[in-house]
Amino acid sequence: MARKMLVDEEMNQTNQEEAYYDFDLFVIGAGSGGVRAARFSANYGAKVGICELPFHPISSEVIGGVGGTCVIRGCVPKKILVYGAAFGSELEDARNYGWELNEKLDFNWKKLLHKKTDEIIRLNGIYKRLLSNAGVKLFEGEGKIVGPNEVEVTQLDGTKLSYSAKHILIATGSRAHRPPIPGQGLGITSDEALSLEDLPKHAVVFGGGYIAVEFASIWRGLGANVDLFFRKELPLRGFDDEMRAVVARNLEGRGINLHPQTNLTELIKTDNGIKVTTDHGEELIADVVLFATGGRLPNSKRLNLEAVGVELDNTGAVKVDEYSRTSIPSIWAVGDVTNRMNLTPVALMEGTCFAKTVFGKEPSKPDYSHVPCAVFSIPPLSVVGLSEEQAIEQANGDVLVFTSTFNPMKNTVSGRQEKTVMKLVVDAETDKVLGASMCGPDAPEIMQGIAVALKCGATKAQFDSTVGIHPSAAEEFVTMRSVSRRITCSGKPKTNL
């Protein structure tokens, strides 16, 4: 058989002895990236096997489920809870639109939890059918690599199965973790937060990333008292600083208590709940403490990778080249386990590029430019392209910033005091739009369309010449005529907020 090798971004053929393999491709991990790679490879005619740990909403090293983190204990169940939490404020706002509602509104947490679980079970079944319909052989059990072309699957009853494969793809994702502080076992991660039996009355959230901000919004929206602790001056490090400030203002406006530049130092179990101590000497009692700090850890520890020569970085992430190939030519990796850009749609892109490269005779590198993303706080933040700080850092000339802050039309009647903020960052010399941000209702739905424009290299003049949809919030992106500020590249500010 000829093994396809990538050299200088091209596929060069090298002659090999004829060899027989049980599979053309064996995938370890049936999350978003693994399922996409398996299906698309099978569509190219490859014989594909895939293994995944048994299903459970809360993951561990030996529990997972087809569909992976996003479907079972990530984006999908989180978004369902966000929808549920948003109804509280919507019902409040409805009163000024003529809806006569009782003063006391009851909420049934267990009902929402049941509906959420029903949905992830349904999606788990859909993913299994997608694999079956593509002709992919699914094994339930724990997979590990025992050689450059050999995998071992330990089934639920302990039976071990060994298979040879011309190519092996690692797609095991990542997992949440707890910070090393005294009493850490009393806290929970996002896995458990999505399956709490009882809605907390008082929740403490430790972290400033999108998971922390989203769960703070969810619990507050459902009526809990929430304290959010984070190490920096503002939450959402890595996002545009101006938009981070907007999110922080909105969180406070919704009743979340923010504790910037604060660490948790100890958790202690008491008769009244969990006592939380901070490095500022503060103490408070909570029903639940959520750890959402320091990102997620790659699921690579139990795969036997180093024994077969697959290189890992110091976090345990699998090192890959620009085509997702590891240090062993027959072994590849996509998704969060590589710790490149840890987003579900990015894992899908990487899985697609892998299938094209290896089985589609079309060498394809994932393109990480202009990848849009969203923080599903209430209201949400969504961005694409460069932040103002990134644009200034990378600029060769001046950077123009256009902003619009306004009261959404819906709020003018409801009386809610919450502004929407939009922003465009533009290269002054080329007029090219480098980045876009929005914090406000429907921001992710709007930003997906803006991402297409930026991917196509749209200029500010093209935004300006586009006719808006009226009345809508989205039209503001094509009516921002006045420059809010002009920054010269010589004055490149750096942020440590």
| Residue 398, annotated as binding a ligand | no
CA angle, corner 163, sides to 161 and 165, nearest 5?
Answer: 160
Amino acid found at 41:
S
Residue 67 annotated as lining a ligand binding site: no
User: Is the peptide bond preceding residue 471 cis, with omega within 30 degrees of 0?
Assistant: yes
Q: Is 273 helix (H, G, I), strand (E, B) or coil?
A: strand
* Ligand-binding site membership of 213 (annotated): yes
Find out whether 173 is annotated in a ligand binding site.
yes
SS3 content of the chain, % helix, strand, coil (to 5): 35, 25, 40
Helix, strand or coil, per DSSP, at residue 379: coil
Crossing angle (nearest 10°) for helices 75-94 and 109-133:
140
Q: Does 241 carry a binding-site annotation?
A: no
Q: Is 79 annotated as a binding residue?
A: yes
d(CA 299, CA 412): 48
484 is in an annotated binding site: no
**Catalytic annotation present for 470:** yes
Query: Which of 56, 177, 202, 470 is the catalytic position?
Result: 470
In what helix (H) or strand (E) does residue 331 lie, and over which residues does it extend? strand 331-333
268 is in an annotated binding site: no
143 is in an annotated binding site: yes
CA–CA dist 170, 139 (Å, integer): 15
209 among annotated binding-site residues: yes
Is 295 labeled as ligand-binding? yes
The token duo for 285 is: 């009692």
DSSP-assigned states of every residue in 420-479: EEEEEEEETTT-BEEEEEEESTTHHHHHHHHHHHHHTT-BHHHHHTSPPPSS-SGGGGGT
Q: Is residue 172 marked as binding?
A: yes
440 is in an annotated binding site: no
Residues flagged as binding site: 79, 143, 172-174, 207-214, 295, 336
Residues flagged as binding site for NAD(+): 207-214, 295
Q: List residues with catalytic annotation.
A: 470
Residues flagged as binding site for FAD: 79, 143, 172-174, 336
